[in-house]
Amino acid sequence: MSDFRLTGKVALVTGSQRGIGLGIVKELASAGAQVLLTGIVTDEGEKAAKTLQGQGLNVRFRHMDTTDEGQVSATMQDLVSEFGSFDIAVANAAIYPNTSIAEISAQEWDDVMRVNLRGAFTLAKCAFTHFKRQQSGRVIFLSSITGPRVSSPGYAHYATTKAGVLGFMRTAALEWAPWNITLNAVEPGNILTEGVLEHQPQSFVEAQRAAVPLRRLGTPQDIANAVRFLASDEAGYITGQTLVIDGGQTLPEMSTAILPGA
């Protein structure tokens, strides 16, 4: 056992200047990895990287749109030129507009597919070039309980992408296993992030909290812990799998379950 250390590993996390992505960057760097924080909001990304550098962590920011294959490919090429390896790719970037199905335009549908699905595919495909040469590599996808297990009104397109990415992951896990490349996913429940607070009223957030058996919303750290494990040497025999991290939210058979003795 190495306490899930990532010393000497080089990692890249998409859309990671805030929220869960930033939590993952911090955790991977705390575990000893050199981490590239990437995203499309440059000022926020640079500020976040600077804060983590101030904490002694090996983190840098680079502008990268995960849907742009040219940018993703060039970023990875530069990482490998500089550090000599590239080991961990985390597909975190996503958008999640809340729109009822009748109101979703073709453009909005395509935008969600482009960022959430094509972005994850592009990241994995570009990483494969390097991982194949190295005969090792880890890809970790941010899926969700929304889509693979449950859903909420307004999230038809988002749910489609979060279920779809698991189909891609399972196929790639099979195709790339001969090169010792593993692909896994986490399925967060309701995690309190800036993005959620931006999109949802406080009353919705409180309703979410009440629906969680562990009686609290998740934190970016809860998700980052699992990503660190999946990126570690200890998880080397796990591929094509998902880990639900939802405080028990998807467990109840009935919304009004009564606990014996409660």
Ligand X SMILES: NC(=O)c1ccc[n+]([C@@H]2O[C@H](COP(=O)([O-])OP(=O)(O)OC[C@H]3O[C@@H](n4cnc5c(N)ncnc54)[C@H](O)[C@@H]3O)[C@@H](O)[C@H]2O)c1
Nearer Cβ to ligand X (87/187): 187
Q: For residues 169 and 240, what is the distance between their CA atoms, to the nearest angstrom?
A: 6
Based on the shown chain and the rule CB under 6 A, indicate whether residue 184 belongs to the binding site for ligand X. Answer: no
Contact assessment for residue 141 and residue 91, using Cβ atoms and an 8 Å cutoff: yes
Q: Which stretch binds ligand X (CB under 6 A): 33-41, 49-57, 148-156, 247-255?
A: 33-41
Binding mask 190-229 toward ligand X (x if CB under 6 A, else -) reads xx-xxxx---------------------------------
Minimum distance from residue 102 beta carbon to ligand X (Å): 23
Based on the shown chain and the rule CB under 6 A, indicate whether residue 247 belongs to the binding site for ligand X. Answer: no
Among 29, 33, 35, 39, binds ligand X (CB under 6 A): 39
Among 188, 224, 229, 231, binds ligand X (CB under 6 A): 188
User: Which residue minimizes CB distance to ligand X?
Assistant: 19
Q: For residues 138 and 128, what is the distance between their CA atoms, to the nearest angstrom?
A: 9
Minimum distance from residue 73 beta carbon to ligand X (Å): 14
What residues numbered 86-145 form the site for ligand X, per CB under 6 A? Answer: 92-96, 115, 119, 142, 144
Active site residue 158: yes
From the list 96, 155, 158, 237, the catalytic residue is: 158
Minimum distance from residue 15 beta carbon to ligand X (Å): 3
Only one residue has tokens 């999109």, namely 199
Minimum distance from residue 85 beta carbon to ligand X (Å): 23
Q: For residues 65 and 71, what is the distance between their CA atoms, to the nearest angstrom?
A: 7
Enter the tokens of residue 237: 């025999």
As a whole number of angstroms, the longest Cα–Cα distance in the chain is: 62
Q: Which stretch binds ligand X (CB under 6 A): 59-67, 125-133, 173-181, 225-233?
A: 59-67
Among 40, 57, 112, 183, binds ligand X (CB under 6 A): 40
Q: For residues 88 and 138, what is the distance between their CA atoms, to the nearest angstrom?
A: 5
Helix (H) or strand (E) holding 151: none
Three-class secondary structure of residue 56 per DSSP:
coil
Contact assessment for residue 22 and residue 16, using Cβ atoms and an 8 Å cutoff: yes
At CA 161, angle to CA 177 and CA 69, rounded to 5?
65
Q: For residues 96 and 156, what is the distance between their CA atoms, to the nearest angstrom?
A: 10
Enter the tokens of residue 34: 């050199």
Enter the tokens of residue 105: 């335009």
Q: Collect all residues with Cβ–Cβ distance below 8 Å to 16 and sequence separation of at least 6.
A: 22, 24, 25, 37, 38, 39, 45, 48, 90, 92, 93
Based on the shown chain and the rule CB under 6 A, indicate whether residue 15 belongs to the binding site for ligand X. Answer: yes
Minimum distance from residue 22 beta carbon to ligand X (Å): 8
Residue positions annotated with a catalytic role: 158
Residues near ligand X (CB under 6 A): 14-15, 17-21, 39-41, 65-67, 92-96, 115, 119, 142, 144, 188, 190-191, 193-196
